[in-house]
Amino acid sequence: MAQKPGIPKGTRDFSPAEVAKRNYIISVIRKHFELFGFQPIETPSFENSSTLMGKYGDEGDRLIFKILNSGDFLRKVDDALYTSKDSTRLTGKISEKALRYDLTVPFARYVVQHQNEIDLPFKRYQIQPVWRADRPQKGRFREFYQCDADVVGSQSLWQEVEFVQLYDTVFSALGLKGVTIKINNRKVLSGIAEVIGEKDKLIDFTVALDKLDKIGEEGVKKEMLEKGISEAAIEKVQPLFRFTGTAVEKLDRLSELLGSSEEGTKGVEELRFICNTIEATGLEAATLDLDVTLARGLNYYTGAIFEVAASGVAMGSIGGGGRYDDLTGIFGLKGISGVGISFGLDRIYLVLEELGLFPETVTSSSRALFINFGEAEALYSIKAIQSLRRSGIKVELYPDNAKMKKQMQYADKRSIPFTILVGEDEMNKGHYTLKNMQTGEQKAVSLKELTEVLAV
């Protein structure tokens, strides 16, 4: 009985055109990762459950895909536990492996496991799929790629400078102008918490402040008061409500505001070094913007926080990252600082599509189709095809001696720009009739001319 075929929700098939475009983005990212001295590693798709569980919070634990043990997996489950029919308890007994949830925890595991083969600072990149049992929705999938670059083993702020440059050059190479690289620092956020007097109100505070554009200063202050932040505290951070200007101007105001906080002052200094250096070296296509409301991944970042926004399209962040001071501590290797950034492949794809920025040369199609008129003609054609392919030109032979109309339609549907016709006349003269599928124009050419026309 034939089944109606389908794929699991939240997963995708990628067509040739989609793969070509995705590979284009990945190749640009990979090229720049390597230019910046990052080295590729790959880790297994599934890890021991103990490596992943407990690393992403309770929500994360639930969203990790677990793999059922092979064979008679119930045999070793003791009857008392089995009888309880408790999914959570049973999971630990019948599943020992789980699909990768992100690239950061496997990277930390890799660094600890291979610490004797690695030279610190270790600059690695990793471009691999991850899986999350999230409820699928527009733009959120259960299988998606992450493209990460991280450095471990150095606290130098030159890394942060280079990550800003890396974002700039990648988006510039993709033709994406006007990208904003937002930067903040966890220590600045801690400083603000100190200044407003209540550490536990920090998230309420930044969430409210983030709405400044939408609800105005009065609206923000109202929300802050509702969340229990005192008027005195709000008064103290008044400069944040007129927080415009260049990064340097903003830093001067922050510096004054956070003068009483040692940690806040350290954060301002770090940001100043990064912003001044970027000012001195310049950016190609992006703008660096200091955004004190940026609180992404507040739980684990300890220094710089990055997020990238495209301009001209309504789209969430297309990249993000930051510094985490104790990346490998969970696996027993203490005191190794890490900093890294990530590129959001799916969103970058949507942005490039919407702005029409994929180059025309990004295609999976052949340059020309040789029409098949029979055995002798096909043999004559296949020799030319061999030669063209050796010159790096994608060409194909229609495999069957089908009606010419059918073969032409095939070329047309696949957007193959040229067809090549070979009959007795061409074979006698050593020629090829080249047809431009767009204009309909035909001309007789030699193999040399054919090679020149088809080379891109």
Q: What residues between 69 and 108 interact with its own copies by CB under 8 A?
A: 70-75, 77, 82, 85-87, 90-91, 94-97, 99
Among 26, 43, 255, 355, binds its own copies (CB under 8 A): 43
296 binds its own copies per the rule CB under 8 A: no
Among 227, 389, 429, 443, binds its own copies (CB under 8 A): 389
Among 199, 242, 383, 429, binds its own copies (CB under 8 A): 383
399 binds its own copies per the rule CB under 8 A: yes
378 binds its own copies per the rule CB under 8 A: yes
Query: Among 186, 184, 183, 158, which residue's Cα sits nearest to residue 287?
Result: 183
DSSP letter string over 290-341? E-TT--TTTTT--SEEEEEE-SSS----SEEEEEETTTTGGGT--S--EEEE
Question: Which segments of 114-200 does DSSP mark as H helices, in order?
Answer: 158-173, 186-196
Residue 43, annotated as binding a ligand: no
Binding to its own copies in span 1-20, by CB under 8 A: 2-8, 11-16, 19-20
Residue 246, annotated as binding a ligand: no
Residue 104, annotated as binding a ligand: yes
CB of 205 to its own copies, least distance (A): 33
C-beta closer to its own copies: residue 138 or 390: 390
Integer Cα distance of 351 and 318 in angstroms: 9
Integer Cα distance of 226 and 217 in angstroms: 14
C-beta closer to its own copies: residue 233 or 339: 339
> Residue 307: CB partners within 8 Å, gap ≥ 6?
181, 182, 291, 294, 296, 317, 319, 320
446 binds its own copies per the rule CB under 8 A: no
Binding to its own copies in span 328-347, by CB under 8 A: 329-332
Encoded amino acid at 10, one letter = G
Q: Which stretch binds its own copies (CB under 8 A): 46-54, 174-182, 289-297, 436-444?
A: 46-54
What are the C-alpha distances in Å from 47 to residues 51, 148, 318? Answer: 6, 18, 27
CB of 110 to its own copies, least distance (A): 6
162 binds its own copies per the rule CB under 8 A: yes
Binding to its own copies in span 408-427, by CB under 8 A: 410, 413-414
Residue 102, annotated as binding a ligand: yes
Residue with tokens 């496997």, as numbered in its chain? 106
C-beta closer to its own copies: residue 243 or 324: 324
Residue with tokens 């054919």, as numbered in its chain? 450
Residue 56, annotated as binding a ligand: no
**Backbone dihedral region for residue 393 (phi beyond 0: left; psi -120 to 50: alpha; all else: beta):** beta
Residue 300, annotated as binding a ligand: yes
Residue 238, annotated as binding a ligand: no
244 binds its own copies per the rule CB under 8 A: no
CB of 346 to its own copies, least distance (A): 13
> Residue 334: CB partners within 8 Å, gap ≥ 6?
326, 328
Residue 132, annotated as binding a ligand: yes
Residue 146, annotated as binding a ligand: yes
Among 114, 211, 227, 429, binds its own copies (CB under 8 A): 114
Integer Cα distance of 403 and 442 in angstroms: 19
Please calculate the CA angle 143-147-153 and round it to the nearest 5 degrees.
130
Instruction: Tell me the residue length of the chain.
Output: 456
> Residue 65: CB partners within 8 Å, gap ≥ 6?
98, 99, 131, 132, 133, 142
Count of residues interacting with its own copies (CB under 8 A): 111
Among 26, 92, 93, 154, binds its own copies (CB under 8 A): 154
Encoded amino acid at 162, one letter = E
Print the binding letters for residues 119-148 with its own copies: x by CB under 8 A, - otherwise: x-x-xx----x-x-x---------x-----
Structure tokens at 90: 């049973």
Annotated binding site for L-histidine: 102-104, 132, 146, 150, 296, 300-301
Residue set of the binding site = 102-104, 132, 146, 150, 296, 300-301
